[in-house]
DNA sequence: TACAACTAATGTACCAGGGCAACTATGCTG
DNA sequence: CAGCATAGTTGCCCTGGTACATTAGTTGTA
């Protein structure tokens, strides 16, 4: 087994731990909203207020579908529908405080759990881990936002 | 920023790349089956044939719910329902070749994409990356199977 | 101004997933 | 054998996500 393979192996193994963290952080939010709904919140969190049509297109769903989904989010108090001052026919969606808090809570939990793992790495090895993860991230390049959005990141 | 924080930061960054890979590999399977359905396939792939009731319990859904879901998987040709020779009332679920192939394809794609990233890491740094991921995985401990199952790993 | 284009909402319909309750068939045990 | 427990199926109902077609209101333009 060459070093590409064994490194890929170790990466896959470590990725299981990361996935578990991500799944756990997601699970807490999914008690409040569905995954498609949470994706919307993340989208708004990353981009600020957006027109409904834009969100629908980003999510790859029909505008009518999204209109209803947005309605559910509004009803749940996670987002607000605002008139677009520049365009009377358009509506802008904006996170409410609750919506923002939900997203923040997930990312916070994610951060905290990963920090806990890192803290469990012997201090002497931490710089090496830091350098290695940076090298890996660099080699991977910027992830496709569309892919990240699938799992609401 | 201490080195726990900056390392956690780098880890989060690297994890985005990993999540993108996982999302992509999952996406290809989700053209054929739904996520709840794929979870079933993974469960069977990891454990071999299982009684329906056991699967339902693992997934945390009602037996009646799962009975129908299993029916859809059978109809799709992904699993087979077998009489349990030891117990006339029980049914065992077993992956068909197609079901196994679907799961294998996802894990294969995942492996291949990660290997591609690793191959893009300069050879001189690869041993450090290997060591880092091992250290991280070790620090994280064994992930909770329940968490992994959420995202079908 | 009148008409076309755009944006969202709504009526209608469908499917997947989920639960509860009732039923069937089988297994176990006194 | 009678009666109870176990395993799964099915009827019924609800929610969420999805699409298509249509409608209503807004904007822009010929």
* pLDDT tens, position by position, B66-119: 999 999 999 999 999 999 888 889 999 999 999 999 999 999 999 999 999 999
CB proximity A63 to B under 8 Å: no
Q: Is the CB atom of residue A82 positioned under 7 angstroms from any atom of strand C?
A: no
- Residue A113 to residue A28: CA distance in whole angstroms: 13
Query: Which chain B positions have a beta carbon within 8 Å of A108's beta carbon?
Result: none
Strands (E), B17-134: 50-51, 79-84, 87-95
> H or E element: which one contains A79?
strand A79-84
- CA B43 from centroid of its chain's CA atoms: 8
CA distance A38 to A32: 9
B75 lies in which domain range? 3-150
Average pLDDT along chain B: 93
Which of B124, B147, B148, B149 is the mutation pick for testing A, counting most A CBs within 10 A? B147
3-class secondary structure, B3 = helix
A115-118 long-range contacts (CB < 8 A, ≥24 apart) are A115/B4, A115/B5, A115/B8, A117/A17, A117/A21, A117/B11, A117/B136, A117/B139, A117/B140, A118/B4, A118/B7, A118/B8, A118/B11, A118/B136, A118/B139
Which residues of B are less than 8 Å from A148 in CB distance?
A: 16, 19-20, 23
pLDDT tens column, A69-117: 999 999 999 999 998 877 788 899 999 999 999 999 999 999 999 999 9
**Is strand C less than 7 A from the beta carbon of B69?**
yes
pLDDT of residue B1: 67
Q: Is the pTM of this model over 0.85?
A: yes
Give the pLDDT mean for A26-50. 95
For residue B122, the SS3 value is coil
pLDDT band at A2 (very low <50, low <70, confident <90, very high): confident
Task: State both tokens at B66.
Answer: 């799962």
pLDDT at B40: 97
Q: Which residues of A19-32 are buried (b: 16+ CB within 10 A; e: fewer)?
A: bbbbbbbbeebeee
Q: What is the pLDDT of residue A153?
A: 79
Residue A1 binned pLDDT confidence (cut-offs 50, 70, 90): low
pLDDT for the residue A146:
87
- Please report residues of B whose CB lies closer than 8 A to that of A25: none
Beta sheet of B79-84, edge-to-edge order:
B50-51, B87-95, B79-84
**In a 3-state reduction of DSSP, which class is residue B50?**
strand
Answer yes or no: is pLDDT of A29 > 70.
Answer: yes
pLDDT on residue B36? 94
Q: Is the pLDDT of residue B3 over 90?
A: no
Residue in A with minimal Cα distance to B108: A12
For every residue of A81-112, DSSP letters joined together read EEEETTEEEEEEEEE-HHHHHHHHHHHHHHHH
Query: What percentage of chain B reaches a pLDDT higher than 90?
Result: 73
Which segment, A18-27, A66-75, B122-131, is predicted with the most confidence on average?
A66-75
Is A1 strand, coil or helix? coil
Task: Indicate the SS3 state at residue A153.
Answer: coil
> Beta strands B79-84 and B50-51: pairing type?
unpaired
Q: What is the pLDDT of residues A40-54, one digit of tens each?
A: 999 999 999 999 999
Confidence of residue A120 (pLDDT cuts 50, 70, 90): very high
Verify whether the Cβ–Cβ distance A137 to B20 is below 8 Å: no
Contacts of A27 (CB under 8 A, 6+ apart): B147, B150
* Tally of domains in chain A: 1
Give me the residues of B, 3-22, that contact A with CB < 8 A. 3-8, 10-22
Question: Is the Cα dihedral B27, B31, B35, B38 positive or negative?
Answer: negative
pLDDT tens, residue by residue, A121-144: 999 999 989 998 999 999 999 999
pLDDT at B150: 85
Residue-wise pLDDT tens digits, B4-54? 889 898 898 888 998 899 999 999 899 999 999 999 999 999 999 999 999
Residue with nearest Cα to nucleotide C25 C1': B89
C-alpha to C-alpha distance for A120 and B4, rounded to whole angstroms: 9
- CATH number reported for the structural domain that contains residue B70 in this entry: 1.10.10.10
Are B147 and A23 inside 8 Å of each other by CB? Answer: yes
The DSSP code sequence of A106-127 is HHHHHHHHHHHHHHHS-GGGHH
CB of B31 within 8 Å of a chain A CB? The answer is no
Name the token pair of A113: 């759990």
What region, left, alpha or beta, does residue B77 occupy, with left being phi > 0 and alpha being psi -120 to 50 degrees? left
Greater confidence (B153 vs A29) lies with A29
């Amino acid at each position: 087994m060459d070093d590409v393979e064994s490194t890929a192996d170790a990466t896959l193994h470590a990725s299981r731990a990361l996935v578990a963290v991500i799944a756990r952080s997601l699970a807490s939010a999914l008690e409040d909203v569905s995954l498609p709904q949470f994706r919307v919140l993340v989208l708004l969190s990353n981009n600020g207020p957006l027109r409904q049509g834009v969100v629908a297109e980003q999510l790859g769903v029909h505008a009518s579908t999204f209109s209803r989904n947005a309605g559910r989010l509004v009803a749940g108090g996670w987002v607000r529908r605002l008139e677009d001052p520049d365009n009377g026919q358009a509506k802008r969606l904006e996170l409410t405080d609750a919506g923002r808090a939900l997203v923040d809570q997930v990312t916070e939990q994610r951060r905290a759990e990963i920090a806990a793992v890192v803290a469990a790495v012997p201090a002497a090895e931490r710089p090496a881990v830091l350098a290695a993860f940076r090298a890996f991230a660099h080699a991977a390049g910027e992830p496709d936002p569309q892919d990240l959005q699938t799992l609401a990141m």
